[in-house]
Amino acid sequence: MSDVFKAMADETRRSLLDQLFDNNGQTLGQLTQSLDMSRQAVTKHLKILEAANLVSIHWQGREKLHFLNPVPLAEIVHRWVGRFEEAQLDMLVELKAQSESKDQSENRKKKQHGL
Amino acid sequence: MSDVFKAMADETRRSLLDQLFDNNGQTLGQLTQSLDMSRQAVTKHLKILEAANLVSIHWQGREKLHFLNPVPLAEIVHRWVGRFEEAQLDMLVELKAQSESKDQSENRKKKQHGL
DNA sequence: TTAATAGGCAACTAAATGGTTGCCCGTCAA
DNA sequence: TTGACGGGCAACCATTTAGTTGCCTATTAA
């Protein structure tokens, strides 16, 4: 899981994923063209994306084709969406409780404000 | 956006978020207890979470309370879920095309083309 | 057969990251 | 009022990260 988040944490790597969104199955050379850095630097980024299982490769002659693998991110992200949506509900409950607690002294006037 | 992914990329910080999921509004001291590192190290992690807007703080006397802010991650994550789900469809189409290509000999009715 | 193309590997560097320690300040309670 | 407690700030350190360059291999095309 850490691998996926770390892979996503870099702008260059997100840009590589963007490129593959737009046009799946590109070669290293193609992916490098749009990036203003050396081929070897791009190779390293792609290795990290591969390690995170976000990109899979397919050799065709001397060309290395790169394909998006959406599965691990979809999984991870669905999980965190769930957790955060729960938390969001909790937070609403809590804010409500806090505001009620603050309003104890004057709770008949029903005035409320948050943090 | 980079800030959010970078914040999420560290195990310690995800663990801090976990703690706040379980019990929102904890102090720095409380958050430190479960972490086997110095208070100052935890402070740095919390600063990063604050900068990513994933945690907000509220001073109460000499205590600093930390609260989860689910909004930015929910946003980011919904966006990426959308993109990846699109890509996932693309991939299915592509896998279908590949398998059809493999089945060429026994399925002559369907047309196929290479990657 | 040879040159150009696509890419890999290793060594190196600068900067960012994650941690430490020491000392300081404000708040609270005895 | 004084000492303990909750936390901040800054300097320092080791490791990781993101990039470079130079050279090598394998495939393709002339």
Asked if B53 and B71 touch (Cβ cutoff 8 Å), the reply is: yes
* Inside any domain, residue B41: yes
Same domain as A48, residue A23: yes
For residue A115, pLDDT beyond 80: no
pLDDT value at residue A110: 33
pLDDT in tens, A23-42: 999 999 999 999 999 999 99
pLDDT value at residue A55: 97
The residues on B that touch A, with CB distances below 8 Å, are 2, 5-6, 8-11, 14, 20-21, 24-25, 58, 67-68, 70-71, 73-74, 77-78, 80-81, 83-88, 90-91, 94, 115
For residue A114, pLDDT beyond 90: no
In this structure, the dihedral spanned by the alpha carbons of residues B82, B83, B84 and B88, taken in order and rounded to 10 degrees, is: 100
Test B73 with A88 for CB contact under 8 angstroms: no
Cβ contacts of A6 on chain B, cutoff 8 Å: 9
pLDDT in tens, B73-110: 777 767 776 776 666 666 555 555 555 554 443 333 33
Same domain as B29, residue B79: no
Q: How far apart are CA B114 and CA B17, in angstroms?
A: 46
* Inside any domain, residue A94: yes
- Give the long-range contacts of residues B14-21, CB within 8 A, separation 24 or more: B14/A5, B16/B42, B16/B45, B16/B46, B16/B49, B16/B55, B17/B49, B17/B54, B17/B55, B17/B68, B20/A87, B20/B55, B20/B66, B20/B67, B20/B68, B21/A83, B21/A86, B21/A87, B21/B68
pLDDT value at residue A87: 62
Same domain as A7, residue A21: yes
Domain that holds residue A20: 2-69
pLDDT in tens, A63-113: 999 999 988 877 776 777 677 666 666 655 555 555 555 444 333 333 333
* Inside any domain, residue A115: no
pLDDT value at residue B104: 41
* Inside any domain, residue B61: yes
Q: Please, what's the b/e burial string for B89-102 (b: 16 or more CB within 10 A of its CB; e: otherwise)?
A: ebbeeeeebeeeee
Q: How far apart are CA A12 and CA A15, in angstroms?
A: 5
pLDDT value at residue B96: 53
Same domain as B81, residue B61: no
Q: How far apart are CA B76 and CA A44, in angstroms?
A: 25
Same domain as B76, residue B63: no
Q: Is the CB of A40 under 7 A from strand D?
A: yes
Same domain as B77, residue B40: no
A70: CB partners within 8 A, 6+ apart: A54, B84, B85, B87, B88, B91
Same domain as A7, residue A36: yes
* Inside any domain, residue B115: no
pLDDT in tens, B45-70: 999 999 999 999 999 999 999 999 98
B91: CB partners within 8 A, 6+ apart: A24, A67, A68, A69, A70
Same domain as A78, residue A64: no
Q: What is the rounded end-to-end Cα distance, in angstroms, of chain A?
A: 34
Q: DSSP characters for A60-102?
A: ETTEEEEEE--HHHHHHHHHHHHHHHHHHHHHHHHHHHHHHHH
Asked if B28 and B37 touch (Cβ cutoff 8 Å), the reply is: no
